[in-house]
Structure 1
Amino acid sequence: MPVLILIVIGAAAGFLATRFMRVQTDVPTTIAIGIGGALVGWGILRFLVSVTGWVAAFVGAVLGAVLLIWLWQKYVSR
């Protein structure tokens, strides 16, 4: 079951990532990109949370806010 969930989440993440980065790939490559990205992102976040605790949450919040501001400036405020 966890493998199936990883494939589904990886496919969705890969699809979104390839659309955000404007990359045209086939379905297996898109799924592989998503699964790889999920594993790398999970590892980085696990490491940050275990090492820094609340500081990682703060950094994540700042990065999330910066991302939202960038998206808003790029797509909404035109």
Structure 2
Amino acid sequence: MPVVFLIIIGAAAGFIATRLMRMETDVITTVAIGIFGALIGGIALRVLLTLTSIAFGFVGAVLGAVLLIWVYRTYFQK
């Protein structure tokens, strides 16, 4: 079943991409462009999300530490 969805999504993505780039291709080439484009885009998006999640994790850690220092200074420091 996932293969069928991959082919359907690939065909739609390939059709849109070939129209945006003004290419005239046959159905097989359009589907192949869509499937390979989905694979490349999926891998690139996962790498980007992994890198940004590390950066956001660091930013979250810094904000958490700042909040903890504020709470300590406000409520516990005399």
Q: Does the alignment reach a TM-score above 0.5?
A: yes
For 2:6 and 2:39, locate their aligned partners in 1 and report how far apart those are by CA, in whole Å.
Answer: 9
Alignment match, 1:53: 53
SS of alignment partner, residue 22 of structure 1? coil
Alignment match, 1:60: none
For 1:7 and 1:45, locate their aligned partners in 2 and report how far apart those are by CA, in whole Å.
Answer: 20
Amino acid at match of 2:4: L
Please give the root-mean-square deviation of Cα atoms over the aligned residues, in Å. 1.8
Query: What is the 5 A alignment of 1:11-50?
Result: 11-50=11-50
Q: TM-score when scaled to structure 2?
A: 0.67
Runs of 4+ with deviation above 3 angstroms: none
For 1:9 and 1:50, locate their aligned partners in 2 and report how far apart those are by CA, in whole Å.
Answer: 24
Q: TM-score when scaled to structure 1?
A: 0.67
The structure having more radius of gyration, on CA atoms, is 2
For 2:54 and 2:13, locate their aligned partners in 1 and report how far apart those are by CA, in whole Å.
Answer: 26
Alignment match, 1:73: none
Amino acid at match of 1:28: I
Q: Judging changes above 3 Å, is the alpha-carbon distance between structure 1 residues 15 and 51 closer, same or farther for their aligned structure 2 residues?
A: same
How many matched pairs? 56
For structure 2, which runs of at least 5 residues remain unmatched after alignment? 56-78
SS of alignment partner, residue 11 of structure 2? helix
